[in-house]
A = this chain, B = another copy of it.
């Protein structure tokens, strides 16, 4: 973030596609025994296994999903990987490989692509994942990044969205709403900067929020932790579009309703103070903020003792009959119907 990006500029056309691929993949080391052949052939080759394979993909586009005026390319690379790994963990699996395709317009020199890939590499190293393929091409506008993640899980460990049962407890990992508020802080600073480019922002009160927006961490630890605790969720999903939206997915696919409690929603102190400052309702932010990349899951009520008191988890409610719908019980003990107000990429552009 602090490096001077203007020292050297190498044009991508000079290198050519294969030169670029060689250049950016030379620092990636294979870490998983299941990766037989990574980059460099028509397809990657992954070893046979008696486990099931998990495959997920996400596409991030400049101007739609991120703004390079406050998203450093290294963070973008890191986040693009996290977004995908999170989906593998939400199946209760272990992520092992990724492919990364990028398209860049000619306003980006090689050094920018190196920064992007240094973030991808950091994510690969930290999460024990191998880069096994991809495509690099030019775009007519901006930058986009398409990542596919591949993971493994024992057949009996895979957790789908459709297994939630009445009376199950509803649990979330970590806390909610911080990434959304981080975005609000960054957007505000961008506006301030436009008016006064010499203004030095003081972001000390927002470090956690900004980190959650710019450098989210996927919950790699949760599948292992659940196994240790001998808890198998009945359903699980990652929180990318916001808690409400994810609850709708689980309830719709499981054919159940749910009741969650406002006073149980896990909020970081910075979320609470930033909500006051921005005059936002912290419950709304927790429900609809999105990009938390925490895991939302349901467990049989018999597992209550295993979950309660664990600092990673908050029990926020329970599963009800389908005809009761999805409801939030407010601090004033009022019951109100939840709405899926997740982020909708297709509406953003309107």
Q: Which residues of chain A have a CB within 8 Å of any CB of chain B?
A: 12-13, 15-17, 20, 36-37, 40-59, 61-65, 86-88, 90-91, 93, 97, 99, 101-103, 105-106, 132-142, 144, 146, 148-151, 155, 158, 160-161, 236-238, 253, 344-350
Contact = CB atoms under 8 A, between A and B. Distances in A.
Contacts of A106: 349-350
A64 B139 contact: yes
B43 A55 contact: yes
A260 to B, nearest CB: 20
Given A91-B42, A346-B12, A346-B15, A55 B138 contact: no
Given A42-B87, A55-B133, A133-B55, A13 B64 contact: no
A103 B88 CA distance: 22
A61 B103 contact: yes
A135 B59 contact: yes
Given A43-B88, A155-B48, A346-B20, A144 B141 contact: no
Nearest to A151: B43
Contacts of A42: 56, 86-88, 90-91, 161, 236-238
The 4 closest A-B pairs by CB, nearest first: A43-B56, A42-B90, A146-B146, A46-B53
Nearest to A104: B346
Given A48-B52, A346-B12, A43 B87 contact: yes
Nearest to A158: B45
Contacts of A135: 57-59, 146
Nearest to A60: B137
Contacts of A160: 37, 41, 45
A329 B99 CA distance: 39
